[in-house]
Structure 1
Amino acid sequence: MLNAVQNLVFRLNQKIYQIYLAPGQTLDIFWDFARCYFYSLAVWSLFTAKFLHLYAHLYSLPSSKFVIWGTTFFFQDVIILLLLRIVAQRTRTRLGAALGALILVPFSLIVSGMAAANFSVYVFTGAEIHWRQAKSFWGDAAAVRTLLTGLTGWLVGEGNLQVKDLPDREVYERIALVDNYVNNDGEDESDLFFDPHSTGNREHSRLSERFIPRVPVLGAFYLLLLLRFFRPSDSVYLVLSRTLPLATAFQGGGHQMTPVDIGDIIIKYNYLNGTSSLHPPPNWDWMPKKPGPGFTDWDESDSHALHYSPQESPLHISNLEEPMLEGVRNALGNLKIKHIVLLKLESTRADIFPLRKNSFMFDRIAETYKDKKIPHEVQERIENLTATAKLLTGFPTGFEHDSSHHGRKAYGGLSASNAYTTSTYTLKSLEGTLCGVSPLVVNRNREWEHHIYQPCLPHVFDIFSQQSDVTSNISDFTKWPWHSVWMQSVTEKYDNQDKLTLALGFKDKKTKETIERPSAKHYPVKSEEVNYYGYAETELLDYIRDAIDDAERDHQRLFLTHLTSTTHHPWGIPNNTYEQILGSSKGHNDNLNRYLNAIAFADDWLATILEVLKEKGVANETLLVVAGDHILDLLIESSSISKDSTPIARDIISLYEGQSLIRPQIQEKDGRQAWQFTVMNHGGTWLAVRSAARPEYRLVVPLVNDVEWRFSDLKNDPNEVHPILRFNLADLAHVIGKYNEDVLDWLYDAAYVASWWVGENWSQYQFEPGPKEGGM
């Protein structure tokens, strides 16, 4: 590399000296080099990007179709390169050279940057960049900071393409690329191979350097044209043919009622047609004449307001009439809930909360050792990695000391298995946990600027606090007013989160921005930032203590919501104190090792929170919810709210679309399955669908036209290593129908339900997609 830099510096000095001697030749010298180099860069970038694109979708098309039509997937790239070749030809005038340079150089740099970034992201995440989504990040400073974390990989990719030990120009410029746009004079004939120093007989040049290379080139091009002409018009071929420069121009969805394209294949399904879950809101005596945030649908000034009604929803199945689970009923006798601490754990998988022996993650760790066996001392470390999670859930882990809690008291509680999240994007999943709604099916956090169609917990607690029997002047905490606090040690500026938390009802917030202020109570912060979002959670310790002390002193009931972030990429922990858990650091193993260390840090942080609750004397009166669902039903049944607040809670809980976790789950009723939807990152690309009645099946529905339908049978493929991928529902159904007609019926039903549900989701949020946006 040092020699390459020295060589480059030497040649730059030569060029600068030549410019000094003859300033008028500057453009000639630059264009002589640039047209060769940057055209080669464009060729390399376009073709490598296309090969990656095809590799990423290798199983989305039957192999026979790949063989037949594979060459046509390069048609757009070839056309662009031919047009670019015209731009890259030698010109007689400096004006022409300048115009050519203004087109060729920026184009090549941009495309090579996109290609290098795409490779970097694919190697790291296993997925391509969705440039349509990436465009929306540039208005968000915190989001840009996130994207720039891939800058190292981009620079490496660019360096591999551009930092070369340049050979002599006479050798370097002998690129075997025929110039089909030359004039008939001798100077232009010598440009056939981008070689201004080529010599030889003119007739020999015409025969050997012009005619002979053109035969296979033109033959291949005409064959490509022929295949492209006869290629089927299916959208899958358009997606696979997409060239990198046009990636951002592909828009999915269009201006339509729903972006889910189910075609005519399931036209027999029509039981949801014309139905809607929206209905005038119910009349409640306790509702104020001027409802506050979260209850605007009850504003009497809007006589046309509609609200989600479970009774009107054709998909809703309620379990509120069911008796409580026996174990819960027995435990409620002495249960009193004064405070609530809700923890949203970032990027924490269910199979590592706690980490279990012989699970997917355990086996993944074992694979990093040469004999595929984890040493005993490492197993002991893994056993203790999520000790607090084991304490909280009570789930067996399969390790040697499974019944031991290492001297700590197990508090007991409810733990849900086979659960699902409303969204894989943290900011979108908050509405599910705090408001009991499904997030808006649109890219990124935009719920805050639309109609969050249910009151969130802070809104509900504010209503409780307004009741006549609520006061701070008595010792009975069930009649104390509520105070809601939001805490996170990272920025709230990412993707408009600061606006979202306000829309969710949080006015008192502790975030990276607030704890960095000189006026903050515990300023300055005590540690360095651990990632591009902010600090480790330990920076909030004193603020959590303060929140409990203030609530106890002022006779308030604390609702503390805390979003963790250490377990988010790049998994930074204080002082970089990483233990080596994996047997190898090759490939993704280093990142996995960092993730597991971050999980251990987060588990220790949970233990610290439990110790704080114990230290403040409120451990036995605090409901700790970890990435949980609504807890209103539990407050009612434990008699932990005032007499006037209880009917309010019962009215509000009847509006939510999910089922109560403290009652038996109903999987199917009157021929209707209990459908479950997960809005996947970043909200406008995929929607995951499953049914409680058939939990082994999972369908991922594309919301744009450049990603695949995906079906998984979790019974036979629990880790979804071999899903079935196709670009349209018809092809997916054809593959599935070959081995199971019953699954085919479920597939059609799931696709139809998803199509209806997305349109209903937009209506509930009062969201109207623009003509170019398509909701995406």
Structure 2
Amino acid sequence: MKLLNPLRRCSPALHRLRASPADVFDHAWEFTRRYFFAVSFMALFGAKLLHLYAHIHSLPASKFFTWGITFFFQDVVLTLLIRYFTQKFHWRSVAAVSALVIVPFSLIMSGMTASNVSFYVVTGAEIHWRQAATFHRDAAAMRTLLTGLTGFLIVEGILLTVAWFVANPLHRIVGGILTILAQPFKCLWNCVQVFRPRSQPLPDPEIYEQIAVDDYLDDKSDDDSSIHFMEPYAEVTPVRRGHSLLIKMGVWFPFLVLFLLRFVRPWDPAYMFLSEALPLAPFIGHHRHSPVRAGGLPGDYAWLEGQQTLNKVPNWEWLPENGLPGFEDWNRTVKHRAHYDPEMDPLHVSNLQNPVLESLQQALSRGKVNIKHVILIKLESTRSDVFPLTKDSFMWKRIAQTWPDNKIPDAAQQLLANLTRTSEFLTGFDAGFGHDTVHDYGRRSYGGISARNAFTTGTYTLKSLVGTVCGVTPLVVDFNREYDHHIYQPCMPHILDAFNHQPDVAANDAEADPSNFRTWPWNASWMQSVTTTYDNQDLLTPKMGFYNQVVTKESLQNPNATHSPTYSEEVNYYGYPDKVLRDYVSDALDDAERNHNRLFLTHLTGTTHHPWGMPNSTYEQMVSNQRTNSNEDVNKYLNTVGYIDEWLADLIALLTEKGVVDETLLVMAGDHGLSLPNDGGVTPYDNPHIGSFHIPMLFAHPHLPQIEITTPVITQQVVPTLLDLLIQSSSLGPNSTRVAQDLLPIYEGQSMIRELVQEQDGRQDWQFTVMNTGGSWLAVRSAAKPAYRLVIPLVDDVEWRFTDVEKDPQEHNPVKEFRLIDLARTLDKQYGSEVVDWVRDAAHVAEWWVTENWHLYRYRRKNKP
């Protein structure tokens, strides 16, 4: 009998549903309108609380306290609007339209909030929803997104579950608030109705009273109905109760304060950004007349106004009449041919007038520095302080903090001491572990030029590649758009192709002189064990001059691949560990020597990319994982750093095995750093911390003396330095040397084999880094004032940020403001007028430079993706 009772209670509802299928919607919407209101409410205010927390230090506490309530204005208005559309309507058609709008809206908002929360937990940065339209939907990008799927599902599950339990009371409370707010308007409406002429007789009193009762139910009692989908609406006898004066004042007072403060709040981009409600985030806050707003600090910058860096192209007789790839500006079919001219650049500082460094000149004059082959290695996510890892450095102390009593166990110390032996040997930097490199390697160091203070041109990998391989600063827009625009300088493979068209280089392998490598033609090759489909890299690689000899994850998986990587599993969502390329590098060297070709091999590593997978998931324990969750990530990262160090040792051994180690120049540079040990950031996305910028950079050759460069440099200088080395080492024939000599002066970067010029004729050597993903922030520093760093917002929803890395090397206390004028006031109090003057110069220089960057790339805002 007990089992039959529930069925008997449900039978009237089932009978009505069979009689009228529309009742299915009525009963379903009766609860779901409350549920999805709760979902949207929690999503809106959850997103706003995270938004304010992420930027809590962007405003002084006094401003947060004064205007903080106004930051919820949009969310409150949207909440009341959603509550209105989730009331009980008398007309089913209106309810159906509300359901069609509210349900998907709520689910989208909850999904955006869950994504933002999980993304913030992992990266320490919010998602910029304005970039959603430019997100690349290739397989690699989707696999990247799936790495955050667990966090997303957890947050979404919590949100949807909590909404189930708070739906009724939340809907009732907000409904009561809406009722109180609407009462004055209802009274006004009733007064107007009294004075309106009646064209029709009054309805039947019973009908009129019934409508009144329903209205009352809408305002007071629509949450008293059953929450079960299949039960009929509860039959509730309404009891008219007015709200007490205290309750009314409790509602009206905060709303009046909110509206009053919002009305009198001064205009400020910071306030507008902090007030931004989640549904509006993809559509507002990124339209600006100028990418950089430096007008807040006026000054005399007439020397920049109206300046352009384009000029008539040089007339080079060595350039073929039909042109060459990468030299499109010299195309004779174009009437008004123009190219970047450093003489026209008001920011250009050259050091070509300086002689080659004395210690280098002595080595070069002996004629033993032969550069037959060049291997350029871009080190994925490699911080400067792990190349090599140095005892008592920040990283060492960070590791020690994870262990009890801040003491690293002997076993872990031994692992750390040997983690980056190859990096220590290559750079010549003493890591402090007392290694006997002479005993281990036969010499103190490998030899070459190593930079202590090198920054990347872009903290987004593909942009960094363009800066390094092409000697330019990347395009200041989001994501990889360089492939679709005019890279304004010939990239290194294009230059080598120009060498191949000179009389002193053999037209084919058969004509090359086996005893004189300077007559051998160049071949440009690209290798990476990870995917090339991410964000159109497969289109960028040929744009930079790599056409046929390209090895990637996709070619490795080809059934016709020369060497199969099947013996190794993929280590991350991009591809295989780097050592699967060993056989391909070996083949490239063999082919080059056998066919009398000169090899220019560019290799992008991948193992050090998040999530730092190791072959067979084998990790050594160097960091204790007992204190914070990020410690495990730091340990994984260090393991992959050690893996790449071993891979570099393998490459040197391979060069030695092939007999070309003394004729190969190794060029290495990080694509970007990683702030993981500083703030837990697993990606440089929207991360302005110096850890994302500071990278290793070196030019290694066994017959070069070991030279340490402490002056600030940037990866834009790789191409001019490489050209200068080829010239000064006499590694080119006479005609090719002439080509290199003509090309060297047109690049913006200084050559690192000469004394670097930090300031010239009052002009500082400004160095710009396009921050990941390219269109939100720009970082600038000056070699003349290397302690100062300024991060400049290019959109309204990020802050100005200043640090002095001499006083605060790990940037624990950056100064952040949404307005330049506010930043200047704060800096004046903390640092004085000298810093303010430098910031003003940096802002105005960047304002001119960004628009010129667009000009050089032939980028127009209407082409914005």
TM-score where L is the length of structure 2: 0.84
1:503 and 2:498 correspond: no
SS at match of 2:101: helix
Match of 2:663 among 596, 621, 629: 621
Match of 1:474 among 504, 513, 537: 513
1:185 and 2:213 correspond: yes
Give the letter for the 2:852 counterpart. E
**1:150-549 maps to which residues of 2 (within 5 A)?**
150-163=148-161, 177-178=175-176, 180=179, 184-186=212-214, 188-189=216-217, 192=220, 194-196=223-225, 202-203=238-239, 205-207=241-243, 213-254=247-288, 256=289, 258-332=290-364, 333=366, 334-401=368-435, 406-407=440-441, 410-471=445-506, 472=509, 473-475=512-514, 476-507=516-547, 508-523=549-564, 525-549=566-590
1:754 and 2:795 correspond: no
Aligned pair in 2 of structure 1 residues 684, 247: CA closer, same or farther (>3 Å)?
Answer: same
Aligned pair in 2 of structure 1 residues 415, 207: CA closer, same or farther (>3 Å)?
Answer: closer
CA contact (8 A) 1:291 1:298 kept: yes
1:47 and 2:42 correspond: no
2:562 & 2:589 partners in 1: Cα distance?
Answer: 15
Give the letter for the 1:519 counterpart. N
CA contact (8 A) 1:166 1:172 kept: no
**1:662-677 maps to which residues of 2 (within 5 A)?**
662-677=753-768
CA contact (8 A) 1:336 1:640 kept: yes
2:468 & 2:622 partners in 1: Cα distance?
Answer: 33
Tell me which residue corresponds to 1:683.
774
2:12 & 2:301 partners in 1: Cα distance?
Answer: 76
CA contact (8 A) 1:173 1:195 kept: no
Deviation at 1:201, TM superposition (A): 7.7
Deviation at 1:306, TM superposition (A): 1.1
CA contact (8 A) 2:42 2:163 kept: no
CA contact (8 A) 2:136 2:535 kept: no
Deviation at 1:270, TM superposition (A): 2.3
1:327 & 1:170 partners in 2: Cα distance?
Answer: 79
Aligned pair in 2 of structure 1 residues 274, 190: CA closer, same or farther (>3 Å)?
Answer: closer
CA contact (8 A) 2:768 2:781 kept: yes
Tell me which residue corresponds to 2:835.
743
Give the letter for the 1:763 counterpart. H
Aligned pair in 2 of structure 1 residues 167, 299: CA closer, same or farther (>3 Å)?
Answer: closer
CA contact (8 A) 1:190 1:199 kept: no
CA contact (8 A) 1:518 1:524 kept: no
SS at match of 1:534: coil
1:218 & 1:761 partners in 2: Cα distance?
Answer: 53
2:590 & 2:467 partners in 1: Cα distance?
Answer: 29
Give the letter for the 1:366 counterpart. A
Give the letter for the 2:643 counterpart. F
CA contact (8 A) 1:90 1:188 kept: no
Tell me which residue corresponds to 1:609.
651
1:580 and 2:616 correspond: no
CA contact (8 A) 1:262 1:755 kept: yes
**1:99-178 maps to which residues of 2 (within 5 A)?**
99-163=97-161, 177-178=175-176
1:593 and 2:685 correspond: no
Deviation at 1:49, TM superposition (A): 1.1
Tell me which residue corresponds to 1:6.
none
SS at match of 1:270: coil
CA contact (8 A) 2:52 2:274 kept: yes
Give the letter for the 1:460 counterpart. I
Q: Which runs of 5+ in 2 are unaligned?
A: 1-5, 184-210, 227-233, 670-696, 698-717
The 10-residue stretch of structure 1 (478-487 or 572-581) with the greater mean CA deviation from structure 2: 572-581
CA contact (8 A) 2:35 2:167 kept: no
CA contact (8 A) 1:545 1:612 kept: yes
Deviation at 1:22, TM superposition (A): 2.4
SS at match of 2:802: strand
Deviation at 1:97, TM superposition (A): 2.5
Deviation digits for residues 746-773 of structure 1 (CA, Å, limit 9, x no counterpart): 1110000000000111111111111xx7
Deviation at 1:164, TM superposition (A): 5.7
Deviation digits for residues 624-656 of structure 1 (CA, Å, limit 9, x no counterpart): 111151211101111111121001001111110
1:636 and 2:727 correspond: yes
1:529 & 1:380 partners in 2: Cα distance?
Answer: 29
Aligned pair in 2 of structure 1 residues 405, 50: CA closer, same or farther (>3 Å)?
Answer: farther
1:720 & 1:387 partners in 2: Cα distance?
Answer: 28
Give the letter for the 2:253 counterpart. G
CA contact (8 A) 1:259 1:703 kept: yes
Tell me which residue corresponds to 2:791.
700
1:16 & 1:390 partners in 2: Cα distance?
Answer: 81
1:659 & 1:458 partners in 2: Cα distance?
Answer: 20
Aligned pair in 2 of structure 1 residues 336, 501: CA closer, same or farther (>3 Å)?
Answer: same
1:567 and 2:608 correspond: yes
Deviation digits for residues 588-647 of structure 1 (CA, Å, limit 9, x no counterpart): 222222111111111111111111111211111111111151211101111111121001
SS at match of 1:33: helix
Deviation digits for residues 30-61 of structure 1 (CA, Å, limit 9, x no counterpart): 21221121111211111121111111111111
Deviation at 1:173, TM superposition (A): 7.5
Give the letter for the 2:782 counterpart. S
The 10-residue stretch of structure 1 (337-346 or 173-182) with the greater mean CA deviation from structure 2: 173-182
CA contact (8 A) 1:707 1:727 kept: yes
CA contact (8 A) 2:428 2:446 kept: no
Deviation at 1:714, TM superposition (A): 0.8
1:22 and 2:63 correspond: no
Deviation digits for residues 499-554 of structure 1 (CA, Å, limit 9, x no counterpart): 11101000121011111111211236322221111111122111111111111110
1:597 & 1:762 partners in 2: Cα distance?
Answer: 40
Give the share of equivalent positions with the same residue, in percent: 51
Tell me which residue corresponds to 2:193.
none
2:462 & 2:11 partners in 1: Cα distance?
Answer: 53
Aligned pair in 2 of structure 1 residues 705, 578: CA closer, same or farther (>3 Å)?
Answer: same
Deviation at 1:213, TM superposition (A): 4.0
Tell me which residue corresponds to 1:725.
816
Larger radius of gyration: 2
The 10-residue stretch of structure 1 (686-695 or 318-327) with the greater mean CA deviation from structure 2: 318-327
CA contact (8 A) 1:338 1:621 kept: yes
2:37 & 2:164 partners in 1: Cα distance?
Answer: 16
Give the letter for the 2:530 counterpart. V
Tell me which residue corresponds to 2:741.
650
TM-score where L is the length of structure 1: 0.93
Number of residue pairs aligned between Structure 1 and Structure 2: 757
SS at match of 1:418: strand
